[in-house]
Structure 1
């Protein structure tokens, strides 16, 4: 009897994992393809994933929780790469600040629909999102190592404000700004904020 219960639990866990992956993949694809990511509904995601709507709410809580899970799954390989680069790099903090912001901007450009949906998901504040906290902590740490940066915490917030998803989407989608030009403009802006140091 114990073996049957254990086998049943393993099958249920495997099903739950498959359902989770199917939901994340479906949500990711729908947000990427939508011209109005804010309007992608839980019903559409459930249908695309082949699961019941209740499964989404049980697993993720609400739309904001689901979007956060999709972002986390997209960010995990990037976080790993950033950590490895920082551990291996002997580059100065200024260079690491530029690299972190460029990496964040590239992620926002590539995932602008998903990130726009996150900013409009009914969260009390985008600054409380786990992914924002991670970027801010990484950036603040490097800024604190730079001479001449009086307030690393505020400076990190101010620099990340230039990367809001709605701004990135507006510049790329509405104004037709080429991603490489946007990256160059950000680098120039960061250099002006950091000064000559």
Structure 2
């Protein structure tokens, strides 16, 4: 279920990619994602603008590339890490552990995730990581509640974990209240009765 690794790159292309990503990470951290242009990233990396645009397209493409390694780390923990996030715990506990781990991931990269999710209409749902998270939650929900519409419920659980939603909720409620509420929702969905 992990996204496949990109094809092997030429050595010079790989070096340029790393220079661009390092420059973008540094500028985004120092100036904020919304204040950094692609031209500034190219200048900071010491490469031509065309190199940056061809490789990443726009700032949201840079955001996706910067997030890739962090997402892979979380995916690995989901697949083979210790319980309750990894295998070996009951499905409901894994759902709550996922919500916590995903909120931690968002807390560290919220601006980049927001950029990647809002690049265009439906951008969030086209990101490979979203498809991974959705499939993982659908499997857990199917185990926790056999016969439920796990596919739809997985989307419903991921909705409040969208970067725009979390940003608004954190501003209104604060981090801890948001975390408790999302844990409660995950647990309620995982343990809800099909009756009434």
In the alignment, which residue of structure 2 is the partner of 1:189?
185
- Quote how far apart the aligned CAs of 1:166 are: 1.1
In the alignment, which residue of structure 1 is the partner of 2:69?
73
CA distance in 2, matches of 1:99, 1:159: 13
In the alignment, which residue of structure 2 is the partner of 1:19?
16
In the alignment, which residue of structure 1 is the partner of 2:126?
128
In the alignment, which residue of structure 2 is the partner of 1:9?
none
1:166 aligns with 2:164: yes
Runs of 4+ residues over 6 Å off in structure 1: none
Q: How many residue pairs were aligned?
A: 183
CA distance in 1, matches of 2:10, 2:20: 15
TM-score by length of 1: 0.79
TM-score by length of 2: 0.80
CA distance in 2, matches of 1:141, 1:44: 43
- Quote how far apart the aligned CAs of 1:64 are: 3.5
- Quote how far apart the aligned CAs of 1:125 are: 3.2
- Quote how far apart the aligned CAs of 1:156 are: 0.5
Return 5+ residue gaps in structure 2 as ranges.
1-8
State the superposition RMSD in angstroms: 2.5
Q: After the TM superposition, which residues 31-42 of structure 1 pair with which residues of structure 2 at under 5 Å, given as runs?
A: 31-35=28-32, 37-42=33-38
Q: After the TM superposition, which residues 13-162 of structure 1 pair with which residues of structure 2 at under 5 Å, given as runs?
A: 13-35=10-32, 37-85=33-81, 89-122=87-120, 124-147=122-145, 150-162=148-160
Alpha-carbon spacing, 1:114–1:148, altered in 2? closer, same or farther (3 Å): same
Which has the larger displacement, 85-94 or 19-28?
A: 85-94
- Quote how far apart the aligned CAs of 1:151 are: 0.6
Greater C-alpha radius of gyration: 1
Deviations 1:22-43 (A, max 9, x none): 21222233334445x3453211
Higher relative contact order (CA closer than 8 Å, sequence separation 6+): 1
